[in-house]
A and B are shown apart, each in its own frame.
Chain A
Amino acid sequence: MLQILQQWTETSAFFIWLRESPSIWAYPTVFFLHTLGLIFAAGASILIDACVLGAVPQLPLAPLARYFRAVWIAFALTIASGLIMLLSDLTRLDNRLFPVKMGFVAAAIVLTLVMRRRVERAGGSGVTRLCAAVSLVCWLGAITSGRYMAYLQ
């Protein structure tokens, strides 16, 4: 499976262009879209978590759920650009921190899904607060492991 994938990305004109082109519109642009999506998705999620935990008094929590569509769009951009960068260099899969980062991201997605429904219905109950706190930690973990990934090989 991995071999077929490897063969495809090694011979595909798109991935060759992405790897080898010195153009600012090649790899740097995909990397930019990844950073942009990530910075908004993570930043907005962390702040929504902080609001659920009571960081901004007098702010009603239920309408916050409306933000999640924008967060998902940013998130989709991050995943798509991340996948393209991963396919352009499959050796990233060997990075020790890669599964750690993906673990944090997967946990953050699940928690966000759970939290969204709860926030919409009831605002900030005990379980919702717990989800917010753990999701906040997951986002911080995802960013930290993502940054360290670039320095470990």
Chain B
Amino acid sequence: MTEWWVVPIWKTVHYIAAALVVGAAGLVDLRIFGIAKGLPLRPLQRLMWWAAGAFVVAAVSGYALLRINSANSLGPPINIAFAAKMLFLVLIGLNDILYVTTGLKREVDAVAAGESTSVSARIVAGVSLALWVGVVYWSRMLTFLAGAI
């Protein structure tokens, strides 16, 4: 049997890792929108390496939580919130792959302190921000939508 204090440990780890991922994405996206314009983007985007590390921690702790509570999984029966969360994470991955492979990331890296970013960079940042809000939404709905369908 799992002890009562095991689940909150995994949840705490998952929460902190998620906060770092969403926090880093949020800070970079906000700078691309022109907030904290005094920051040069090349060093700021290094935050995404921290986010990548935190994402691995979130994935491992998330998998552990999934093993403990199978109601949160893809099922059967399917948890619509979990399916949507995974879909949103895939979309975020695609958005990031496009951001790097189209050369947009390199273009943004060259944006120095006080300079503005291009419209395409702002679109990618907006999509990223919206998808991360979605991931948090579906995560919160996991327990409420388990068994809804």
With a 10 A CB-CB cut-off, give which of A48, A66, A151 has the most chain B CB atoms: A66
User: Which residue from chain B places its CB closest to the CB of A28 in the assembled complex?
Assistant: B144
Q: B113–A46 contact, CB under 8 A?
A: no
A48-72 contacts to B, CB under 8 A, are 48, 50, 55-60, 62-64, 66-67, 69-70
| Distance in angstroms between the alpha carbons of A63 and B37 in the assembled complex | 7
Q: Which of the residues B30, B113, B144 comes within 8 Å of A24, measured between beta carbons?
A: B144
B126 within 8 A of A: no
Q: B19–A46 contact, CB under 8 A?
A: yes
Report A9 CB to chain B, min CB distance, Å. Answer: 22
Q: A43–B23 contact, CB under 8 A?
A: yes
Size category, B interface: 35 or more
Which residues does chain B contribute within 8 Å of A151, judged by CB atoms?
4-5, 7-8
Which residues does chain B contribute within 8 Å of A100, judged by CB atoms?
none
Which residues does chain B contribute within 8 Å of A48, judged by CB atoms?
27
Q: B140–A144 contact, CB under 8 A?
A: no
Chief secondary structure at chain A's binding surface: helix
Report A80 CB to chain B, min CB distance, Å. Answer: 16
Q: A64–B36 contact, CB under 8 A?
A: yes
Which residues does chain B contribute within 8 Å of A84, judged by CB atoms?
none
Q: B113–A148 contact, CB under 8 A?
A: no
9-residue interface stretch from B89-97, B101-109, B117-125, B131-139? B131-139
| Distance in angstroms between the alpha carbons of A43 and B30 in the assembled complex | 14
Q: A35–B139 contact, CB under 8 A?
A: yes
B38 within 8 A of A: yes
Q: Which of the residues A44, A69, A150 comes within 8 Å of B27, measured between beta carbons?
A: A44
Report A36 CB to chain B, min CB distance, Å. Answer: 5
Q: B43–A58 contact, CB under 8 A?
A: yes
User: Which residue from chain A places its CB closest to the CB of B45 in the assembled complex?
Assistant: A56
* Known pairs A35-B140, A46-B23; A62 contacts B38 (CB<8 A): yes
Q: B19–A60 contact, CB under 8 A?
A: no
| Distance in angstroms between the alpha carbons of A32 and B134 in the assembled complex | 10
Measured CB to CB, the residues of B under 8 A from A are 4-5, 7-8, 11-12, 15-16, 18-24, 26-27, 30, 35-40, 42-44, 46-47, 50, 113, 133, 136-137, 139-141, 144-145
Known: A35-B140, A36-B133, A56-B44. 15 other contacts (CB 8 A): A24-B141, A28-B140, A35-B136, A38-B19, A43-B19, A44-B23, A44-B27, A47-B20, A59-B44, A60-B40, A64-B39, A66-B37, A140-B16, A143-B12, A147-B11
A selection of 5 A-B contacts at a CB cut-off of 8 Å is A24-B141, A43-B18, A60-B113, A63-B39, A148-B8
